[in-house]
Structure 1
Amino acid sequence: MRPSPSQSEVRTSSQLRWLTRWRTHALSLAVCATLAACAGSPTYGPVPAGSYRVKSGDTLYGIARANNARAADLVRWNGLTDPDKIEVGQVLRVVPPAGSSSASSGGSSSSDSARSRAPDRTAPKRTPVPAAPRIATNKIPMVWPANGPVLANFNGSSNKGVDIGGNAGDPIYAAAAGKVVYAGSGLRGYGNLVMLQHENGYLTAYAHNRTILVKEGASVSKGQKIAEMGDTDSHGTVKLHFEVRQKGTPFNPRDFLPSR
């Protein structure tokens, strides 16, 4: 006959069973916590070279700085409407698109460089530096294209030429010898317009004419009558709007015209 277990043996056996159950429960809790963490953190695939996946705490300025780019470039490359609204998991292009003049030729993945970036700080606001004004080169002498008074002078922004007053039908003259490269009314805001191409890359424009007297492709001499003065479409003011440009940049016509 098997002897009955002592009180100490019963107590020890009970403690072992409790310890086994506690370990099993703890292991179950650990497994559940791990599964919950995995479910709450979506798994993303690798990002292509030249791209970066947004992480928690990232800002567009920090991502740009870590990848030697400007925040404005990232906005343009990724078609973002609000640079302050990027989402965790979002993939951003951090290098210029293929074919861009500033595109780099190869290099390591931007996500690798982002791992070693410094903690993000608020990007300081930069004061834009105005570009130095272009200086006209190899100026050509010109004559006044109309005889009336100057109504408005060049300021480089709202007025890229000079406005010369007069009466409807007053003659408009070529300021310098050249070739007619445009004669028509297809340019909005200029009415009937004549444009002449001159030497040294200069171009003159004569706007708001009542009548155009030359055709495209024709050569004209300095002082030749090319049009008749008319009025503007919007205000009905009789005047000539005259511009001088070189490679697209407008210059003050009075720098080319004789003093009055």
Structure 2
Amino acid sequence: MSLTQQRKHHALGAVFFAALLAGCASKPSGPVQVVDRTQSGTQAQRQYQQQVTSGQYRVQRGDTLYSIAFRFGWDWKALAARNNISAPYVIRPGQAIHFGMPPSSASAAVQPTRPATPVTAPVVSSRPPVQSVPATKPATVSKAPVVSSTPPAPGKVESVTRSSKGWAWPSSGVLIGKFSSNGSLNKGIDIAGNLGQPVLAASDGTVVYAGSGLRGYGELVIIKHSDTYVSAYGHNRRLLVREGQQVKVGQHIAEMGSTGTDRVKLHFEIRRQGKPVDPLQYLPRR
């Protein structure tokens, strides 16, 4: 290699090194964001929505007022009041649940006030029409099927340690996911465990949802503890309770699993008036 070629080679190397340093200097000095790929498939689906305040939702089979409120960031009492649903808060498939002002209320709010015009309403009978039945063929009365109202056998109740706020850990295991308050990913905590490991009620209450209708939660149990608090237990393998059942703190309500996620774990949430709160602020210190 001639002297001229050597000089050109060194010059090109210097230019490349300077460009590399400039590229490094242009990067932000703050911490680099790390994405946990093991959680993206589940938590991206389970992102907590800020309270939906417009539009409506059509009730699907298996929905409850509590599960709809949980899904769309509402306090169940407020959602019931918005839709004029009174106790025992029964909803039916196809029913419209309004998040904003119902159309009738909205139209009434913008209608100008007009003098009332007396209108004579026709008399409408509230009784169903009576069909005549031939005397030779007496009417046949079909009996409704008898449905057992006996609740499932109560699960085992373990002796657990409760915090000063009355809450107990829903399962033993390593804490692998903490609450996030920035509105992005985790609105509860995640506890690792073994397949089939008991999941316990974190406080006394009533089961208001037991099913798999909420995307990203797998087999899910929601318990109402008071007019203020509900708790949720997701990704179970098997549910041991049904809606309407009373449970005690420490009672077995499910078996830990991996439904709706990529590993065996329990996703646990506490919501206060519909808003997620950090469960670690309510559970006993370990």
Q: TM-score, normalised by structure 2?
A: 0.43
TM-score (norm 1): 0.47
Rg: which structure is higher? 1
The higher relative CO (CA closer than 8 Å, separation ≥ 6) is in 2
Higher helix share: 1
